[in-house]
Structure 1
Amino acid sequence: MKNRFLKLTLIFAAAVSCFTACETSDFADINANPNEPNEPVVGSLLANAESAVDAYLGATTPNLYVQYLSNGQYDEESRYQTLNWDTNYWYGILNDLQRIIDLNTNEETKASVAAGNASNNNQIAVATILRVYLFHGMTDRWGYLPYSEALSGLNTQYPKYDSQEAIYNGLLAELDMALNMIEGGAGPNGDYLFDSNMARWEKFGQTLKMVMALRLSAANPTLGAQKFNEALGNTISSNAENFVYPYLAEETNDNPWEDRFLAPSFRRDYLVSDVFVNELIGSGDGSNPEDPRLPQMAEPAFNSGTFVGAPYGKSNSATDDYSFISEDIIFNQTAPLYMFTYSEVLFARAEAAELGWTSEDAATLYEEAIMASMDQWGVAEDAAMAYVAANSYNGLESIGYEKWVALYMQGYEAWAEWRRMKAMGYEKELTAPDDLLSNATGIPNRQGYSATAPSLNEANYNAAVDAQGPDNLDTVLWIFE
């Protein structure tokens, strides 16, 4: 009996202990995965956002818009087949950057996200500068976009589309704020673009500001001149400072052009266009082109051993008859793609001087810009000087042509600058193919919103189209009017 009582007592005590423990347990943790952090790692958010720069720089279509390239057998891309372009991916990236900014400004999280990382100010500055860079590229593609009410989650499920003018004004204000926030010390974790070097981020922001300012030359030259002069003297000052996307010699992080021509795609779809090749041959011939950059930018055709451009807007299935992009790009996993270059800055300064925005000498800057482009492409100095001597400065039309050449393979940047200079009246003249798709009537002036945009945010989409113009490839954006 005594033993039985003892056993019952122990069982009761165990039950009480169990129920007591259950009362104090936190069942909210029952579905928590111990291998996944509950708070986002800001370094991972930044690294993911920076990876989007690759998608922007490596895009094929804008290089066809400005006729650097021609298609091989399948010519639809050079005839503007694609009307609708997805914005959702880019807003996902912008949300990552906004999350970094929010975590660094929220009083409950700012201390923890700065621990073992850059200062709150430097994290905010980097996220904001990259946000401006990406948003700037977006509005130059689509025009009106959700901006002031975007990135607020469920608080604003149907954000309005802001005008391009409002977006430019907002982005320039954001950029100034970010540049003023930069302080001493290291940059944030996860930054593989500029290795957490805040001096590089500051120079990148100032260069971006100069480029954005010049983009206003037709739409708002007063503001453009003001912002241009604020950036003048603070931008990159040599080819050693060019801003590039750093690729690696591995399949998951290598140059996208190499992926197209070798693994995993193994396709030979992209040839150098006859428009570009013929211009650079100039007064020379297919063996000895006038412009010494052509042998650095392209390969001689396999069958003839000379430089031959593929007819633009045509099906070119006999690919060995034509020149391909330089093997230094298409067969090189680590070949860089350029965000901004010293030659672009010099051409911008030359144009600003000619427009009366600065007191610099346009002719001198023009020559320096060509020399910088030659050096960027590995041309010998004597050959570069001979070309400059034979192609002296002759006003804004000279800049329009030479800048088009210098921006080779910088697709979206080249397309934006070509449209801007077209609005100014001194672009390199280009002619669209005869047989166009997507109801285009000429070289695209913009890209259409995603096919789901009308149904996802109908009222605001319709308001944007009413204000900006039809959602097609022909509507001219405010910045390029």
Structure 2
Amino acid sequence: MKNLYIKTIVVFLLGQLLVSSCNDFLDVNKDPTKVKAEDVNLEALLPTVLEATSESHYEAMNAASCATHQIDQYFGYYTEFTLTSNWSRAYLECLNTLSVMEEKATEKEAPHYLGIVRILQALNLGLVTDTWEDAPLAEALAGSNNITPAYDTQQKIYQAIFDYLSEAEEYLKVQESTYPPDNDDMIYGGDLKKWENLLHALKARYMLHLYHKGQFTASDILSEVDLGFTSNEDNFQLAYNEVNLNPLHSDVALANETGNFTVTHGKYFVDLLNGAIYSVVDPRLPIIADKGASTEYHGLASYDPSTPASTTDLTRDTWYAKENSPIIMMSYSELKFIEAEMALETDPARANKAYLEGITAHMNMLEVEGSEIEDYLNNPSVDLGLSIDLEHIMKEKYIALFLNFEVWNDMRRLKYDPKIFRGFEEPDYGGRSEPAARALYPVSEQNRNATNLSSHIREFTQAMWKDLD
């Protein structure tokens, strides 16, 4: 039930009031007029935390997609970013609410809720550490008892992610529960099998992040792939509607219509699809980008004034910016490209098959015409057979994961290698030629928790632990 609509906006409005009142190390103010999350049931908390998790992915992908040139900013290329609102959301709205849910699910002996909680804790921790690296974990949710928590290393956070996913698997395996999730699960409608598929897909993703560090083998990752998503129906995505609008629609498409231009497609992204870098023209381009009255597709490169003027926009007619389009946090396509990369060295036939399936899944999601899909897949520059290579796998993954934070993880993990990301040009970040490696910690956190934070501060272009060989 991946497209299960939000039952009512009231649930969300209530949920936001509940979560905003929670004590946390980031906010110890109390408002006696607001209901506490501790006083709300699981059925109200789950949709709230799912919406907050989706919003976190949306905010994170805005910055990450600029770093990977999937999108660019009309008002000039960034030099660095902090994602301050996401730091607060991660702890106040996501992890804090999940902690309350954990307590309630334990009290009610609701193992299936506990399984979902563990998966969402892993996913939100992953987004935190992949954005800033080290972060509070062990002391993060003590509320007013500790407003200056110690920071844990990224290595410890990744271990916690895998521990949470393993625990989730055990909880979801429990056969009976007197308190199961149902329509409050706005993504899978209480379908535990789909949650199980997600946890294995997430294991494959996070194992891939550490693959080059020697912590996992290709066989380890492929074992999780085999237990993960089986089709687009398993995509972990939150669907929106005409009442609760897709934020890309409300924040970008509608803003652009009124002249408040924000972001649009990056030149590199458009050039991958319009034939400028590869010889094939991709049928997904007119579905993803609107060129208006222009005759050609040109993306924006605000860091290079010598490039042609941008002709594309993310309008309400483009697939990702429709009012009811989902925010996709993990997709079947992503998992197939993970399979392709991990099978490449030992089984190129499997790698090519998974690669083609990843392309097909994304095109089916966008509702590309069947004949156009067939023509594209049959192009010799697309179907490489046993000659499949990492460059083409990552090119297609980059396209299929448009506006997904995971693309930035791939580029950092692979060192922005121009032999893999053909045609990618890294702009100058105020005199620094190295690529974007992390978000900077919010100034508010530097002021509030400087003693614990100081030893963890790194340069914007300094690679994270997970990306070091």
**TM surpasses 0.5:** yes
The change in CA–CA distance for 1:363 and 1:45 in structure 2 (over 3 A counts) is: same
Match of 1:62 in 2: 64
The offset of 1:126, in angstroms, is 1.0
Rounded to whole Å, the distance in 2 between the matches of 1:64 and 1:368 is 27
The offset of 1:67, in angstroms, is 0.7
The change in CA–CA distance for 1:399 and 1:126 in structure 2 (over 3 A counts) is: same
Output aligned runs, 1:59-458, within 5 Å.
Answer: 59=59, 60-72=62-74, 74-75=75-76, 78-83=77-82, 85-86=84-85, 87-92=87-92, 93-105=94-106, 110=107, 114=108, 119-182=109-172, 183-184=174-175, 186-187=180-181, 190-219=184-213, 221-223=214-216, 225=218, 227-250=220-243, 253-261=244-252, 266=258, 267-282=260-275, 290-302=281-293, 304-313=294-303, 322-325=311-314, 327-329=317-319, 332-356=322-346, 361-389=350-378, 390=380, 391=382, 392=384, 393-410=387-404, 412-422=405-415, 427-429=420-422, 430-434=424-428, 436-437=429-430, 441-458=433-450
Rounded to whole Å, the distance in 2 between the matches of 1:283 and 1:359 is 27
Q: Which segments of 5 or more consecutive residues in structure 1 lack a partner in the other structure?
A: 1-31
Name the SS for the 2:440 alignment partner: coil
Name the SS for the 1:223 alignment partner: coil
The offset of 1:97, in angstroms, is 0.3
Say which is worse superposed, 163-172 or 44-53, in terms of deviation: 44-53
Rounded to whole Å, the distance in 2 between the matches of 1:383 and 1:189 is 37
Contact 2:132 2:440 in 1 (8 A): yes
Q: Which segments of 5 or more consecutive residues in structure 2 lack a partner in the other structure?
A: 1-31
Rounded to whole Å, the distance in 2 between the matches of 1:418 and 1:36 is 41
Rounded to whole Å, the distance in 2 between the matches of 1:450 and 1:352 is 36
Deviations 1:357-401 (A, max 9, x none): x89721222222222222222223333233233222532122122
Say which is worse superposed, 171-180 or 78-87, in terms of deviation: 78-87
Contact 1:293 1:377 in 2 (8 A): yes
Rounded to whole Å, the distance in 2 between the matches of 1:205 and 1:421 is 24
Deviations 1:295-330 (A, max 9, x none): 22112242x2322222343579x98x5111362346
The offset of 1:153, in angstroms, is 2.8
Rounded to whole Å, the distance in 2 between the matches of 1:38 and 1:49 is 14
The change in CA–CA distance for 1:66 and 1:262 in structure 2 (over 3 A counts) is: closer
Give the letter aligned to residue 184 of structure 2: G
Match of 1:18 in 2: none
Contact 2:351 2:388 in 1 (8 A): no
Contact 2:139 2:146 in 1 (8 A): yes
Rounded to whole Å, the distance in 2 between the matches of 1:329 and 1:366 is 22
Rounded to whole Å, the distance in 2 between the matches of 1:155 and 1:334 is 42
Match of 1:476 in 2: 463
The offset of 1:258, in angstroms, is 1.2
Contact 2:283 2:372 in 1 (8 A): yes
Deviations 1:45-77 (A, max 9, x none): 2222111123223232222111112222x11xx
Rounded to whole Å, the distance in 2 between the matches of 1:424 and 1:175 is 31
Q: Aligned pair count?
A: 421
The change in CA–CA distance for 1:241 and 1:226 in structure 2 (over 3 A counts) is: same
Say which is worse superposed, 267-276 or 35-44, in terms of deviation: 35-44
Give the letter aligned to residue 296 of structure 1: I
The change in CA–CA distance for 1:95 and 1:256 in structure 2 (over 3 A counts) is: same
Name the SS for the 1:131 alignment partner: helix
Rounded to whole Å, the distance in 1 between the matches of 2:37 and 2:129 is 35
Deviations 1:182-229 (A, max 9, x none): 13453267322222222222221121111111111222x333546524
Deviations 1:271-313 (A, max 9, x none): 222212222122699xx961222122112242x2322222343
Rounded to whole Å, the distance in 1 between the matches of 2:187 and 2:326 is 12
Give the letter aligned to residue 372 of structure 1: A
Name the SS for the 2:187 alignment partner: coil
Deviations 1:391-420 (A, max 9, x none): 22532122122211211122x122112212
If you compute each CA radius of gyration, which structure gives the higher value, 1 or 2? 1
